[in-house]
Structure 1
Amino acid sequence: MTSPVRALWDAPAASPAPPRRVWRDWVLVGVVPMLAVVEASLRPEVPWRWLWAVVLAVLAVTLLWRRQRPLTMLASAFTIGTAVSLATGGDPQFYTTAYFLILLYAVFRWGSGRAIVLGGALVAIGIVLTFVSGSPTPADVIGGVAVAVTTATLGIALRWRSSARARELERVRLVEREQLARDLHDTVAHHVSAIAIQAQAGATVAATDPDATADVLRTIEGEASRTLREMRAMVGVLRTTDAAELAPTPGLADIRTLERTDAPAVGVRIEGDAGLVPPAVAAAAFRLAQEAVTNARRHARNATQVDVDVRVGTEGVRLRVHDDGAPAGAASPGFGIRGMRERAALLGGSCEAGPDAAGGWTVEALLPRKAWTT
């Protein structure tokens, strides 16, 4: 078996799976027998017309299982119809037999690759048998082949369209999950890290400096309140149909909220016209700075200062976050740096993080100006 045929043979059934049974199926099963009886009564010139009316009425029940067992239903109708044709010495000549095309369509629309190959073979056998049981004209043969090919092509086309749509929905779902994971990490992790750092500081000075302990508790309260606000905003985005109005969109100016005076201190410097930066780019720059500062405060040993420099220029937004501590690996692999790289890449930019030659740890990101028009 050649590779393309083998690939088709091993292909799974259509995805997503078909509905088991809908109201239209029952309508078809009720209408087809009536059409067969009406046609038999109106066409007395057709041989064995009442026998064919009964056969077509009985075979109509195959329409109920055409999605779940398409090849079985097609093979059953084909076998019984062919046997009756050979026994009576001719084709049914009933227009009602057109509903067999629904069974053929179901094979190519819902069946597995094996069902498609075998179903196509059954159709080819049926065409050959027309020469055995009668003497069809070339026009009849060409017309029959054209109808069968058109039906099969329609089934394949709709199958491919449905599969492509399902893949696109899954891709969008994965992108949204990644976006949500980045936002959760960049917002919640930042505030929780600050709370943890302040709690450690509070535990250290609790016995000797009650005033400092009170300041620490106020800082923890502020961080917790901001965490709740951002979490509520994100949940609101997920629950509302108008997410654009509720989505938190911090800008470049919000990077100044990252400034801290407690060790390690955080200093922020912004140069250039921040008003020229689109909201999406500004929000990305804020998240990158937020994550970089969080990592520095959590992992940089003996750090006393974290500098955040933001420059808006002709090339775009350039962000540099540098700490003067000794970098330390996290207890377990995290997603912060990977999330920063992904966020920058979505805007056509780049983000690099690593030890600085002059000491400490540096994160540098560039969000190019070419992305501002997208």
Structure 2
Amino acid sequence: MLRNAVQSFLAVPRAPDPPRRVWRDWALVAVLLPTAVLEGVLREDVPWRPVALVLAVGSILALLWRRTHPLTVPAVVFGVVTLGSVVSLISDLPPIGLNTMVAVILLPYSLVRWGSGREIGIGLLILLIALVTGSAAEYNGLGEAIAGGVFLFFPATLGHGVRYWTTSRLQEREEMRLRERELLARELHDTVAHHVSAIAIRAQAGRVVAATDPSAAVDALLVIEAEASRTLAEMRVMVGNLREDEAASMAPPQGVADLERLVRSVGDRPRVELELTGDLADLQPAVGAAVYRIAQESITNAVRHARHATRIDVRVAGEEHCVRLTVRDDGDAGASAWNSSGYGLVGMTERATLLGGSFEAGPGPDRGWTVEAVLPRSGAAR
């Protein structure tokens, strides 16, 4: 189990690529470099002054690459620090370095913030070795050694917290994008498929009667024009909602009040009859939109697939705690009015389920196909 946990940690990929250099790093280096030079020149108790100054300047300049090379930079810097501690232990010289080099505590943060799991593991081992050798070279008691460890590893803990928070935010945004994609796919399927089906049916009818009844062909062209214009308008709304640089459309969603226009747009082949009963006022917008979309998809599928259907009955009943939608056609008995591999059933089931309702679709008791959706009036999601 421990082995699996270690392997899982080592397999953690790097965090999303950070900016190569940001203004904060440049500002930090611009402040620290003159400070290190002044300390190296003016401070009197600096052992190996030229070496200490070179180490300090090199460590400070390395901060510019801490984001893009989260392991290499701390490995080099703390490797040099460890080497200096070992030299101090062997030669009994005081530790080599300037106080300005305290800025290297940013490197543990960068290691955990942007490194991969393997890089973090290697880097933390290097930090631990540097801590042990540094404490041995300048040992002033166990308490100070522990305090030094906390001081060194606290930035790593902070980097882990920031990385976790950032990753969570990215995952939430990705989940939101996926939900928006699903919603868009459902809207495109429900809306565009309905209008395109109406256009195709009217075009076929116009072609049949064009030679014998030109006026009927003209009427069919008028319906096609209206349906195409409505489809373009709805697609513009959807595309506008997807663009980040444009305000989202404030148009209210279509609901029960729009069902009459939906029924009229189908025509009389087959004839669609609408019946509204009960209390349908004050429905939640999400409930009204779901009723409209489920009815639209049901009518579209009946027009497309119900063989020899002459009538489609749409009934919406407002009950005390719910709204019941029923769509029936009188197509041939046993005929498959639905494409089970399509997205219609999936989309309608999702709409009903998300609102805490139920959805059923199947062959009617005598003939045709029956769709029934029951949605709570409050639209409370499960």
CA distance in 1, matches of 2:381, 2:108: 50
Task: Work out the number of aligned pairs and report it.
Answer: 372
What amino acid does structure 2 have at the position aligned with 1:359? R
Seq. identity, %? 48
1:184 maps onto 2:185 in alignment: no
CA distance in 2, matches of 1:325, 1:75: 75
What amino acid does structure 1 have at the position aligned with 2:373? A
Determine the structure 2 residue equivalent to 1:68.
68
Determine the structure 2 residue equivalent to 1:12.
13
CA distance in 2, matches of 1:290, 1:208: 32
CA distance in 2, matches of 1:282, 1:339: 16
What amino acid does structure 2 have at the position aligned with 1:272? G
1:54, distance to aligned residue in structure 2 (A): 2.0
CA distance in 2, matches of 1:145, 1:279: 58
**Aligned-partner SS, 1:364:** strand
1:64, distance to aligned residue in structure 2 (A): 1.8
Mapped contact 1:352–1:363 kept (Cα < 8 A): yes
1:343 maps onto 2:344 in alignment: no
C-alpha distance after superposition, 1:30-75 (max 9, x if no partner) = 3323222222345323433443122111222221221111111111
What amino acid does structure 2 have at the position aligned with 1:24? R
CA distance in 2, matches of 1:231, 1:73: 51
CA distance in 1, matches of 2:380, 2:155: 48
1:183, distance to aligned residue in structure 2 (A): 1.4
Determine the structure 1 residue equivalent to 2:133.
129
What amino acid does structure 2 have at the position aligned with 1:278? Q
**Aligned-partner SS, 1:325:** coil
Mapped contact 2:299–2:312 kept (Cα < 8 A): yes
CA distance in 2, matches of 1:92, 1:179: 63
Mapped contact 2:326–2:373 kept (Cα < 8 A): yes
1:232 maps onto 2:236 in alignment: yes
CA distance in 2, matches of 1:345, 1:330: 20
**Aligned-partner SS, 1:2:** helix
**Aligned-partner SS, 2:379:** helix
Measured at CA, do residues 276 and 32 of structure 1 come closer, stay the same or move farther in structure 2, by a change above 3 Å? same
2:317 to 311, 315, 318: 311
1:370, distance to aligned residue in structure 2 (A): 4.2
| Aligned-pair Cα RMSD in Å | 2.3
Query: Please, which moves more after superposition, 208-217 or 57-66?
Result: 208-217
C-alpha distance after superposition, 1:218-260 (max 9, x if no partner) = 2222222322332333344445744252x35112121122325
Determine the structure 1 residue equivalent to 2:99.
95
Determine the structure 2 residue equivalent to 1:83.
83
Determine the structure 1 residue equivalent to 2:143.
139
Measured at CA, do residues 364 and 32 of structure 1 come closer, stay the same or move farther in structure 2, by a change above 3 Å? same
CA distance in 1, matches of 2:127, 2:241: 53
Measured at CA, do residues 75 and 142 of structure 1 come closer, stay the same or move farther in structure 2, by a change above 3 Å? same
1:195, distance to aligned residue in structure 2 (A): 0.9
Determine the structure 2 residue equivalent to 1:56.
56
Determine the structure 2 residue equivalent to 1:3.
4
Mapped contact 1:303–1:324 kept (Cα < 8 A): yes
1:294, distance to aligned residue in structure 2 (A): 0.5
1:144, distance to aligned residue in structure 2 (A): 1.0
- Unmatched 5+ stretches in structure 2: none
CA distance in 2, matches of 1:224, 1:127: 72
1:283 maps onto 2:324 in alignment: no
1:189, distance to aligned residue in structure 2 (A): 1.2
1:330, distance to aligned residue in structure 2 (A): 6.8
1:198, distance to aligned residue in structure 2 (A): 1.2
Measured at CA, do residues 340 and 139 of structure 1 come closer, stay the same or move farther in structure 2, by a change above 3 Å? same
- Unmatched 5+ stretches in structure 1: none
Mapped contact 1:73–1:103 kept (Cα < 8 A): yes
1:196 maps onto 2:200 in alignment: yes
1:369 maps onto 2:377 in alignment: yes
Query: Please, which moves more after superposition, 206-215 or 250-259?
Result: 206-215
Mapped contact 2:66–2:107 kept (Cα < 8 A): yes
CA distance in 2, matches of 1:184, 1:200: 23
1:188, distance to aligned residue in structure 2 (A): 1.5
Determine the structure 1 residue equivalent to 2:225.
221
1:243 maps onto 2:243 in alignment: no
What amino acid does structure 1 have at the position aligned with 2:296? Q
Structure-2-length-normalised TM-score:
0.90
1:133, distance to aligned residue in structure 2 (A): 2.4
C-alpha distance after superposition, 1:194-233 (max 9, x if no partner) = 0101111222222233333233222222222322332333
C-alpha distance after superposition, 1:126-162 (max 9, x if no partner) = 2221354242322221111111231111000000111
What amino acid does structure 1 have at the position aligned with 2:119? A
